[in-house]
Amino acid sequence: MTLRLHRVAALAAALPLSAHAQWNPHFEAGAVYDSNFSRAQRAQDRIADTALTVDAAAERSLPTTADLRVGADARLAQYVHSDGASYATANVSGAWRGKLGLGPAAPWFSARAAAGVENARETVRDALRYAFTATAGRRFDERFEAAAGFAYDRRVQREELAVVPGFGGKPFSLQGRALFGRASYAVSDKIALLGSATVRNGDVESSSRRNFTIFSASNAIANDPSLGPDFIAYRVSGARTVLLSAGVSWQLARHAALEASAARADTAAGEGLDYVNRIYAVTFVYRP
């Protein structure tokens, strides 16, 4: 596992080197605190943790009349306490963006598809990831822009690790569909306020110690040693997550910004299962 993690990390490190000429690089570094990283309902099962993250991405336009782009990105995330959940990802993506007319106020549409591999320190969290996003937006004036869209996400756990007869052993194989809206308002040249709302329906993974409520609601179960020797990962389908986020972006320079955000995610599933995440993030963004 560690070896594979290092391999993906090496790919992440190599991305900026390949970002030459028409490749346009993008870097991020930050910290994300999650009040309920285990996504547990019971207080005694909730584990708060902070991940330190580094992202590198590069994108280039295709020589077509449409605004088509291909890209690759990689991320390293190291959790302060739950080391087994630390991961590296590498993705490839394709995107299209178009406008209905000329000018900053013309409505725009975009679509993006991505596929990637994710390796965590614990095998149970190793996965392939797929995502598709379709977004429509409009800039109403120089300060205010809003967008809304649809997102599909799919995560496929790479190894079957069944522990309970009759239950699948891939609790980290998840998929969901989401509708989202987001807006930004530039208060000044330097400061912009960001806000978003997302409603996602689909599978969620919740880790906790043995718990009959979630056991009866789940359809896939495996041990989750990344959170503790007695933690079990449960997959629950038909969950709804409502995520509200507010943030501020401070432009440090033409190519750099510092973002801070606070989010609350309320997840509710059948059988009375629900939990809340409070997520705080600080991210430094640099795009040369």
Residues that bind other proteins (CB under 8 A): 21-24, 26, 28, 30, 32, 53, 55, 57, 61, 65-67, 73, 75, 97, 99, 102-104, 106, 131, 133, 139, 141-143, 151, 153, 155, 174, 176, 184, 186, 189, 192, 194, 200, 202, 204, 241, 249, 251-252, 254-257, 259, 283, 285-287
For 15, phi then psi, to 5°, come to -55, -50
**In the bound complex, what is the minimum distance in angstroms from residue 12's beta carbon to other proteins?**
14
**In the bound complex, what is the minimum distance in angstroms from residue 129's beta carbon to other proteins?**
9
* Closer residue to other proteins, CB minimum distance, 78 or 164: 78
* Closer residue to other proteins, CB minimum distance, 11 or 193: 193
Identify whether the C-beta of residue 273 lies closer than 8 Å to the C-beta of residue 262. Answer: no
Nearest Cα neighbor of 84 from 114, 126, 142, 55 is: 126
Token look-up 């309920």 returns 36
* Closer residue to other proteins, CB minimum distance, 141 or 274: 141
Ramachandran area for residue 47 (φ above 0: left; ψ -120 to 50: alpha; else beta): beta
Q: Which DSSP state fits 45?
A: G
**In the bound complex, what is the minimum distance in angstroms from residue 135's beta carbon to other proteins?**
12
Look at the alpha carbons of 163, 271, 158, 34 in this order and tell me if their dihedral is positive or negative: negative
Q: Which DSSP state fits 11?
A: H
**In the bound complex, what is the minimum distance in angstroms from residue 251's beta carbon to other proteins?**
4
* Closer residue to other proteins, CB minimum distance, 12 or 192: 192
**In the bound complex, what is the minimum distance in angstroms from residue 190's beta carbon to other proteins?**
8
* Closer residue to other proteins, CB minimum distance, 7 or 240: 240
Report in angstroms the alpha-carbon separations of 60 from 15, 54, 110, 133, 247: 13, 21, 16, 19, 28
**In the bound complex, what is the minimum distance in angstroms from residue 166's beta carbon to other proteins?**
26
Tokens of 49: 């943790």
* Closer residue to other proteins, CB minimum distance, 15 or 174: 174
Count CB-CB contacts under 10 A for residue 21: 6
